[in-house]
Amino acid sequence: MIIAAASVRKFYSIVGFSMLVVLFLMIGVQMGFTGGDDVKKEDFQVSVDGQHVKFTTPPIFKDGEWFVPLEHFAKQLDLKVEYPEGTKMVVLCGGKASELCVPLEFRDDEKSAVEVDGIVYARPVHIAEPFGFEIYQVSANRLEVIHPAHLAPEFTLPDLEGTLKHLKDFRGKKTFLYVWGSW
């Protein structure tokens, strides 16, 4: 009788442990944890100023990096896209207030655009950063892009030990700022 009870407890322990493993795997999949090259296109997420970007053409994963459809992403950032005739490049120009234009050549190097099946792709960082947007990589497959007008102004304050802390050091992290005064 004692042997049977121990076997039943061992069986329930194994079943319970197996259920925990399955639960953790399911939670990991829902949170978007992914491995290296087995990343799925639908796993990649980008938000601009807190608004999720839904791509009409899915992003691609090439050489360990995400590339987004250039025209769709540029539209989300209020940028104009031009293809100068007779060149192998695309030019991104700022919106109404900016006259900045940035060229991206079609090459296989770090700062370039690529064309796949008639669609132009580029790394989000090379589209957004020249125009002052901040990009935060939340996870391997999730980016947050923030317009400079939506960022808090930069400042520096000492912590309790007297070490100077810059606000920019906390960008991309949840930060609680407690201001106290003895007026």
For residue 71, is it left (φ>0), alpha (ψ between -120 and 50) or beta?
alpha
Q: What is the structure's pLDDT at 105? A: 85
170 in a structural domain: no
114 in a structural domain: yes
181 in a structural domain: no
29 in a structural domain: no
Average pLDDT per block of 10 residues along the chain, 183 residues long: 61 64 52 43 79 88 86 89 87 76 78 84 88 83 83 84 87 76 81
Q: Give the total number of structural domains in the chain.
A: 1
Statement: the pTM of the whole predicted model exceeds 0.85: no
Q: What is the C-alpha separation between 6 and 94, in angstroms, rounded?
A: 71
Q: What is the structure's pLDDT at 31? A: 39
Q: What is the structure's pLDDT at 162? A: 92
Handedness of CA 83, 74, 71, 76 (dihedral sign): negative
50 in a structural domain: yes
24 in a structural domain: no
182 in a structural domain: no
Q: What is the structure's pLDDT at 163? A: 93
For residue 50, the enclosing domain spans 41-150
Q: What is the C-alpha separation between 140 and 35, in angstroms, rounded?
A: 9
175 in a structural domain: no
